[in-house]
Amino acid sequence: MIDSQIAGQHYSAAQGTAIGCEGRVHVDVEDGTIWGGGNVMSCVNGEVQF
């Protein structure tokens, strides 16, 4: 989305509202590096293997 200029260098999005786990995701680009973060509420615990 950033490369196609749909989103700017600093972007925030809401997620989880429909399931009662409101949250915000923040994405920033600094010197070509993409950083993502935000507050979380753990809804599922477990382990994932790739």
Beta bridge partners of 12: 26
Taking the CB of residue 35, how many other CB atoms lie within 10 A of it?
10
Q: What pLDDT shows up at residue 25?
A: 87
Residue 1 has pLDDT above 70, yes or no: no
Which uninterrupted H or E stretch holds 13?
strand 10-15
Q: What pLDDT shows up at residue 8?
A: 72
Q: What pLDDT shows up at residue 15?
A: 81
pLDDT tens per residue, range 6-41: 667 788 888 888 888 788 888 898 888 989 888 766
